[in-house]
Amino acid sequence: MCRIAFAPSIQRHVPVAERELPAVTLAGALEAVFAETPALRGYLLDDQGGLRRHLTIFIDGLRVRDRGGFSDVLAPDSEVYVVQALSGG
């Protein structure tokens, strides 16, 4: 089962525990978490259903490619980490 974790900066706004899920795509993993923590959907997704600009998701250390449909494939032992994107200048 894949593991999904959320950065402390996200948990400050929406408390959500790290968990293991039987998902084959990122979309499946996110939907499972949203079913348990509905407030997280509004924090992570924009009004079009895509990932908000101030957030990013890594799967096994690589940034996701599909920020709208979340079709990135998960291996059974994948690690998914949702974080707030850094910006600066």
Contacts of 41 (CB under 8 A, 6+ apart): 34
The set of residues, in sequence order, having a beta carbon less than 8 Å from that of 29 and lying 6+ positions away, is 2, 4, 21, 23, 74, 80
> Can you give the pLDDT at residue 89?
54
pLDDT of 37 reads 95
**What class is the 2-84 domain?**
alpha beta
DSSP letter for 25, please. B
Query: For residues 19 and 85, which has the higher predicted lDDT (pLDDT)?
Result: 19
**Residue range 32-46: average pLDDT?**
96
* Domain chopping of the chain, boundaries: 2-84
Q: What is the model's pLDDT at position 85?
A: 79
Q: For the CA atoms of 61, 48, 22, 7, what is the dihedral angle to 10 degrees?
A: 40
Query: Averaged over 53-62, what is the pLDDT?
Result: 96
